[in-house]
């Protein structure tokens, strides 16, 4: 029975750790959204967390240095539980604490309950678990660390620093776009300082960029952001509801959409009183550039 519990515990760490890598950007954004760390440190912390979970999972499954591994597991779960308690008190019961990656949503309260049972399993194993004695433990330790590092970096390698915005200073005629939001509110592209975010609901890169800009907007004072969708209205309405988005938006499923963005989505245009000043293409953009506007 103790062997089954140990293997189950190890597989839980492996599964939940690896799930955070698909895609790792979502886990990074969640760390920023939960105010654990800033944008520059999130890629490093996200991969360190997954590395640690994978390492513990492998050691548990292999029954390697089990007493030390169990104590490290106990301390890890205790730290995560204390953080969840702090987060619950500070921000309430979040719908998704991020513990399970993109596998499924797990609220803060349910995650605390999960950790409680995992701690009980660890306590049981500390009392009754039997170690397996390996030869050359030093080399096995190095091997487990190497496997964990390689797994994380192969699945989610560090990406290059986001390219700076393209600095442009030309007048751009946007009269071809709808001149009012879906709510009926008139838009003024010539006399405002705003961001136009060109996206498609079915584009995975667009979804990552949307997560990112949603967090930036929630944590900072920003100039207005207007979404421009290349899709049918029923698809867009369902997408806005699913993602809980509150940005004003327009729908423009015409050929001119791709002409404006030169065939690239997602694209963000910074329009300052009719003048196109900055362009960002793709999901990787520097949040500080948008904040500094």
46-87 pLDDT tens trace: 999 999 999 999 999 999 999 999 999 999 999 999 999 999
Report which DSSP code applies to 231.
S
| Residues contacting 90, CB < 8 A, separation 6+ | none
State whether residue 281 is helix, strand or coil: strand
pTM exceeding 0.85: yes
Q: Are 165 and 278 in contact (CB under 8 A)?
A: yes
**Torsion sign (Cα): 133, 139, 144, 145:** positive
Query: How does the average pLDDT of the chain come out, rounded?
Result: 93
Q: Where are the domains of the chain?
A: 2-155, 166-292
DSSP 176-197: TS-SB-TTS-B--SSS-EEEEE
Rounded CA separation 220/292 (Å): 10
201-206-210 Cα angle (round to 5):
95
In this model, does residue 254 exceed pLDDT 90?
Answer: no
Q: Are 198 and 266 in contact (CB under 8 A)?
A: yes
Question: What CATH code would you report for 166-292?
Answer: 3.40.30.10
Rounded CA separation 256/258 (Å): 5
């Amino acid at each position: 029975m103790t062997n089954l519990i140990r293997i189950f515990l190890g597989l839980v760490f492996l599964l939940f750790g690896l799930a955070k890598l698909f895609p790792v950007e979502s886990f990074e954004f969640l760390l920023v959204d939960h105010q654990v760390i800033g944008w520059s440190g999130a890629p490093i912390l996200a991969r360190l967390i997954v590395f640690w979970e994978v390492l513990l999972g492998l050691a548990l499954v292999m029954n390697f240095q089990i007493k030390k591994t169990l104590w490290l597991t106990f301390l890890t779960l205790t730290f995560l539980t204390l953080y969840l308690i702090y987060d619950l008190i500070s921000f309430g019961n979040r719908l998704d604490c991020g513990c399970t990656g993109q596998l499924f949503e797990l609220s803060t309260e349910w995650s605390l309950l999960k950790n409680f049972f995992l701690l009980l399993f660890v306590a049981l194993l500390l009392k009754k678990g039997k170690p397996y004695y390996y030869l050359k433990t030093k080399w096995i330790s190095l091997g487990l660390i190497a496997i964990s590092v390689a797994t994380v970096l192969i699945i989610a390698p560090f990406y290059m620093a986001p390219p700076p915005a393209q600095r442009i200073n030309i007048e751009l005629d946007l009269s071809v776009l709808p001149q009012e939001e879906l709510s009926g509110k008139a838009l003024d592209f010539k006399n405002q300082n705003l961001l136009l975010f060109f996206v498609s609901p079915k584009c995975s890169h667009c979804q990552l960029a949307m997560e990112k800009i949603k967090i930036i907007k929630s944590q900072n004072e920003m100039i207005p952001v207007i979404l421009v969708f290349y899709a049918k209205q029923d698809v867009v309405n369902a997408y806005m509801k699913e993602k809980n988005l509150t940005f004003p938006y327009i729908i423009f499923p015409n050929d001119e959409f791709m002409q404006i963005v030169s065939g690239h989505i997602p694209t963000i245009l910074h329009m300052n009183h009719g003048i196109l000043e900055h362009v960002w293409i793709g999901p990787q953009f520097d949040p500080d550039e948008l904040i500094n506007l």
